[in-house]
């Protein structure tokens, strides 16, 4: 990686290590977060520009709203958007900014007949349990002092994201409306979602510290 890009990333990671970590996350999850942070330098330069832009958009909305609503959108709301949601929530908890963001995921044409495919999270210290929620299959994710319940939702059920300040499309899918402000962050490899969402969290924290 070019020196001009490497130096800011290293400085950012040093800030990442020095942050007072949230006490709500399990210790092994915190350890995983720090280890993932060490790989920020591997994010390609063009991708960094995209992630920085998204972090700035979210940060900018914190000035306008008491709580910024972020919605991740893909085709089926089966894995990609759910993992992005979980990891941005995790980063927000790590930095103590969870009160600033309301993060959800949805799909254009979601599937409801299978449990969320999120077992990869167990490798990072999360505890998962499949449950039934109303008429849908869901996954309860224990992160420490609390848990999240994740299940498939349609974009239509969320009023096409109308009440969300930041809509991020993670796959090449049709926008909800012609006026939809489309932010694209396409993932071809789900293994990079954790790193990139934690990077976005780190950038948001950095911007908030300079506020």
User: pLDDT-based confidence at 181, cuts 50/70/90?
Assistant: low
CATH number of the structural domain spanning residue 79: 3.40.50.2300
8 A C-beta contact, residue 107 and residue 81: yes
Q: How many other CB atoms are there within 10 angstroms of residue 159's CB atom?
A: 10
Judged by DSSP in three states, 75 sits in coil
8 A C-beta contact, residue 130 and residue 115: yes
d(CA 41, CA 164): 31
Which conformational region is residue 144 in: left (phi greater than 0), alpha (psi within -120 to 50 degrees), or beta? left
| Residue-level pLDDT at 5 | 56
| Residue-level pLDDT at 41 | 96
- Min mean pLDDT across 63-67, 167-171, 186-190 is at 63-67
* The model's pTM: 0.87
User: pLDDT-based confidence at 3, cuts 50/70/90?
Assistant: very low
Judged by DSSP in three states, 43 sits in coil
Instruction: Identify which of 153, 208, 206 has the alpha carbon closest to the alpha carbon of residue 14.
Output: 206
| Residue-level pLDDT at 102 | 94
| Residue-level pLDDT at 197 | 98
* pLDDT of residue 175 exceeding 70: no
Instruction: Write out pLDDT tens, residues 11-36.
Output: 565 555 545 444 589 999 999 999 99
Mean pLDDT value of segment 68-97 = 95
Give the pairing type, strands 68-74 and 101-107: parallel
Which conformational region is residue 57 in: left (phi greater than 0), alpha (psi within -120 to 50 degrees), or beta? alpha
Count of domains observed in the chain? 1
8 A C-beta contact, residue 141 and residue 128: yes
- Residue 64 is given by DSSP the state T
Beta-carbon-side half-sphere exposure of residue 122 (alpha carbons within 13 Å): 9
**Sign, Cα dihedral of 19, 93, 127, 78:** negative
Residue 12, φ and ψ in degrees, nearest 5: -65, -40
Planar angle of CA 176, 181, 185, nearest 5 degrees: 90
The residue segments making up the domain with residue 197 are: 3-210
């Amino acid at each position: 990686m070019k020196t001009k890009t490497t130096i800011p990333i290293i400085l950012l990671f040093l800030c990442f290590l020095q942050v007072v970590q949230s006490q709500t996350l399990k210790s092994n999850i915190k350890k995983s977060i720090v280890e993932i942070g060490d790989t920020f330098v591997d994010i390609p330069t063009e991708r960094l520009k995209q992630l920085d832009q998204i972090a700035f958009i979210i940060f900018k909305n914190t000035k306008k709203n008491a709580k910024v609503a972020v919605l991740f959108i893909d085709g089926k709301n089966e894995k990609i958007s759910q993992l992005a949601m979980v990891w941005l929530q995790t980063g927000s908890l790590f930095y103590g900014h969870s009160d600033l963001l309301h993060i959800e995921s949805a799909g254009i044409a979601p599937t409801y007949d299978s449990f969320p495919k999120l077992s990869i999270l167990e490798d990072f210290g999360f505890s998962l349990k499949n449950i039934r929620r109303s008429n849908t299959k869901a996954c309860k994710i224990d992160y420490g002092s609390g848990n999240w319940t994740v299940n498939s939702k349609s974009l239509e059920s969320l009023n096409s994201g109308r009440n969300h300040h930041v809509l991020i499309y993670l796959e090449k899918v049709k926008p909800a409306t012609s006026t939809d402000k489309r932010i694209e962050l396409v993932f071809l490899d789900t293994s990079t979602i954790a790193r990139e969402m934690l990077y976005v969290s780190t950038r948001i924290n950095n911007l908030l510290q300079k506020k």
